[in-house]
Structure 1
Amino acid sequence: MLSTSGRVFTNAVFGPVARWLVRAGVSPDAVTVTGTVLTVGVALWLLPLGHFVAGPLAITVVVLIDSVDGLMARTLGRSTRWGAFLDSTLDRVSDAAIFSGILLWGVRAGETWVLVTSLVCLVLGSVVPYAKARAEGLGMTASGGIAERADRLFVALAAVLAVGLGAPVPVLVVALGLLALASLYTTGQRMAAVHRQTRADAGETA
């Protein structure tokens, strides 16, 4: 749901920006790389220092702007496999930077549970998309689940912002813990989906 809402929002707000960039001769790949560099820079600069209002707000803006590359590709009518690969790969870099920023703050602040839960989210946040990519590489599907990328980022950034606005740190710990469980469950969902497909294929072959 969050992913769909995000796409509707970005289409309405950033559609004109995408068309302007296309007319200016900017490539979608350049926007993808720029968005990733900005996300990594902001996440690893503001979050470890505890700027929990400016940090999540700035990251949200950059992540939304980063979606312009897809709008540009559709405007040009040339969504390429390279563009999809680049976007997906750099998304993992951006996600890792965000959770690493939270983790580093946990280290600086001596908040052990923030460190632990953000580390688990960092690891599982890579496993969820890997399960999908590996399944597709084997000719199967493993999409969906309760913790897709937009959902993970929304929960993490909302919890960070809440702490920045005065909520106690355990709010962030609980949010990251629930996010870790949701990511683990999503991984299980995708593994189960692939298992069902392999069993069906085996039955057809037999």
Structure 2
Amino acid sequence: MISSLRPTLGRAITEPFIRLMARAKIQPNALTVMGLALNCLTGWVLATEHLLVGGILVLFSAWFDMLDGALARLLHRTSRFGALLDSTVDRLSEAAVFLGLILFYANRGDVFELSLTYAAIIGSLMVSYARARAEGLGLKGEIGVFARPERIILLALGLFLTEVSLTALEVVLWVLAVGAHLTAFHRLFYVWQQSRRGRS
């Protein structure tokens, strides 16, 4: 899926910018923290009902999130702490964006849509956790359709379509909530299969 194309696409759209950042002596971990701030801003924009602008920021934030790792590799400054910081900030960033949507629906009194958004963020976090826990056990966990790039693109699409109908975002949240949970369980099943093969 989109995740498999990420390395190639990432290099194409980040390389000119990371070279400028390297010359400016910007540190990779500083970019990671800046990315979190940008996602918090995105959440605030969504909470204040600027959904189209929020959709643009979701995509821009996703592009920005690729810069820290690319810069670290260019400068040969990859580290275990940097990888942990990046993964942690990714989860916080995703939560911040969905929190913005939760506040948006709370302000409108839309309890069902609020609950749907909550289900989507729980599923999204479980997808990431299942992979991280599997890899911590020495097993493979990167499998399934609804990895983070796919979730970001779907969410941005839903936000853009609110210019036509707010129902479009609700449909996207349904897809995200169900798809993310299915992907998390798919990863659990995949890890279970690996563990059984390891015992045989």
Bin the TM-score by the shorter chain.
Answer: over 0.9
Q: Find the residue that maps to 1:41 and give its secondary structure.
A: helix
Unaligned runs of 5+ in 2: none
Q: Find the residue that maps to 2:34 and give its secondary structure.
A: helix
Specify whether residues 197 and 6 from structure 1 end up closer, same or farther in structure 2 by C-alpha distance, changes over 3 A only.
closer
Shift of the alpha carbon at 1:6? 4.8
Shift of the alpha carbon at 1:5? 4.5
What is the TM-score with the length of structure 2 in the denominator?
0.93
Kept after mapping to 1: 8 A contact 2:39/2:93: yes
Q: Report what 1:192 is aligned to.
A: 189
Shift of the alpha carbon at 1:31? 0.5
How far apart in 2 are the matches of 1:10 and 1:181?
Answer: 28
Q: State which of 166, 178, 181 in structure 1 corresponds to 2:164.
A: 166
How far apart in 2 are the matches of 1:4 and 1:24?
Answer: 31
Specify whether residues 6 and 202 from structure 1 end up closer, same or farther in structure 2 by C-alpha distance, changes over 3 A only.
closer
Q: Report what 1:42 is aligned to.
A: 42
Structure with bigger gyration radius: 1
How far apart in 1 are the matches of 2:108 and 2:164?
Answer: 16
Q: Report what 1:182 is aligned to.
A: 179
Q: Find the residue that maps to 2:138 and give its secondary structure.
A: coil
Shift of the alpha carbon at 1:40? 1.0
Unaligned runs of 5+ in 1: none
Q: Report what 2:28 is aligned to.
A: 28
Shift of the alpha carbon at 1:73? 1.4
How many residues in Structure 1 have an aligned counterpart in Structure 2?
200
- Alpha-carbon displacement from aligned partner over 1:17-69 (angstroms, at most 9, x marks no partner): 101111221111100111111111221x2101110111111232132122111
How far apart in 2 are the matches of 1:132 and 1:61?
Answer: 25
* Residue identity matched to 1:35: G
Q: Which structure 2 residues correspond to residues 97-136 of structure 1 after superposition, within 5 A?
A: 97-136=96-135
Q: State which of 194, 197, 202 in structure 1 corresponds to 2:199.
A: 202
What is the TM-score with the length of structure 1 in the denominator?
0.91
How far apart in 2 are the matches of 1:56 and 1:182?
Answer: 20
Q: Which structure 2 residues correspond to residues 24-103 of structure 1 after superposition, within 5 A?
A: 24-43=24-43, 45-103=44-102
How far apart in 2 are the matches of 1:200 and 1:11?
Answer: 36
Shift of the alpha carbon at 1:113? 2.6
Specify whether residues 95 and 57 from structure 1 end up closer, same or farther in structure 2 by C-alpha distance, changes over 3 A only.
same
Sequence identity percentage = 32
How far apart in 1 are the matches of 2:3 and 2:191?
Answer: 23
* Residue identity matched to 1:186: T
How far apart in 1 are the matches of 2:94 and 2:48?
Answer: 18
- Alpha-carbon displacement from aligned partner over 1:156-191 (angstroms, at most 9, x marks no partner): 12101211x122x22211111111111111111111
Shift of the alpha carbon at 1:8? 3.7
* Residue identity matched to 1:128: V
How far apart in 2 are the matches of 1:5 and 1:100?
Answer: 28
